[in-house]
Structure 1
Amino acid sequence: MADQGGISIRWEAMEARVRRLEELIGKPEQPPSVGLIQQVSSIQEMVESLKMKVKEELLETVLKGLESVSDEISCLTDVVDYKLESLKADLRLVKLAVANSGTDGSAVAPKVRVPDPKPFGGERSAKELENFLWDMETYFQAARVPDTEKVSITSMYLTEDAKLWWRSRLSDDASANRERIETWEVLKKELKDQFLPCNTS
């Protein structure tokens, strides 16, 4: 029992010292654990903010990459379309050559390579357009192109502004339910009307 009394006295003495210290330096404003919790909470907020920022930057990078891929696919599609149309025109010529070779029972004439006409890019020049039309007619005769194929084959030799006009014209005709240009004579007139406004002869 004497020991318990001694412990009690020592405890009271210690409490008295703590009170004296608190009077001298003041009580702690908050327990250390509260400050630590606030620091942890602040760190968690910073981590969440960094996560959001990384997600946004990653999303932006992915979207830019997708735009770039989409542009490349569009360019490749245009190239493939052009090559496909070119192959179709070549196939038509091959079919014509096969159909026209020896059909009348006469001896087959030696094969002569018909040079391709110079493409027309839509220059607003009477000389350029007339030369193009003359070259196409000469080409049709030499390659024995039937009337039904002349418009589609001519379209393969339109480039730049002329090609753009032709594609727009096909689209406009389809959307307006207009009759398509299907004869060489009509195509010649339309080309002259479009690229030589003062010369519709």
Structure 2
Amino acid sequence: MAWKTEIDSTKAKKIGSDGRLTCAGAERTLARLNGWLGDFAQARAWDLNFTSADGSDETNLVVTNGQRDSSIVGCVMSRAYLSKKTDKIDAVAGRVEGLPIQELLVRVDTLEANVGRIGNFEYGDSLSGFVAHMEGRVNELDSSQKTLLEMINDMSGDFRATLDVVWNEIVDVNIRLSLTMRAMANQVPVGGTVPVTKVKVPEPKPFCVVRDAKALENFIFDLEQYFKVTNTVTKEAKVTLTTMYVYEDAKLWWRSRYMDIQEGRCTIDTWDVLKKELRSQFFPENVEILA
């Protein structure tokens, strides 16, 4: 079969390096196939017509030979199908013609590989960055903790030093106070004044209302001496202390005067004023009036 050998040879020439049939090769192969089938049909006394009466693309096949070979009929039908698709093949060929298909495929494969590597790199870079960030934060926390511990240690040392200084000052004050107390206990009285701590001072006798000016003056004198011995110097203290040593009718009188003081009707806030009040109330002539 010379025609089959030529088909195989032509097919081999029209297949590209990527294993696909090129558009130009398909068109030329279809033209050759039409010629071969025509010659074969004449040799077998067949009548082949690929155009219908109404001009449509439907294939009209008439086989006049009494002997029908199913394989040849299949080949003829394939040729008819390819003939109808010629226009579409031409259109596609016009669009694809001149495109570097193999180069585009290589570029697509390279792009896919690059995308995969970039995705892996971005994921790895993000993870590495996160790990580095966390390590940095941990290092910062460690540094802050160390700084805080150092500050606490320094403050503790300063506190201990301050406490030692205060304690030494307290000890020194206690020593000075002890020495001062000893010096005061051993010193010699000056001007005949006897230290109060060494002598028991008798309290003045209470004053009652009597018809005796001498008794009142002695009461006032005893209180003045008592003030000197006990070192009572404030006016309020002298008034309060004197009123504690009045009894009976004198106490009743002082209570009434105290109410007058509280209500603002009179003022007795010094020792001199109190002495004047006592003399005016408890001298003999005044005592008789009071009685």
TM-score interval, smaller chain: 0.3 to 0.5
Q: TM-score, normalised by structure 1?
A: 0.43
**Pair member with larger Rg:** 2
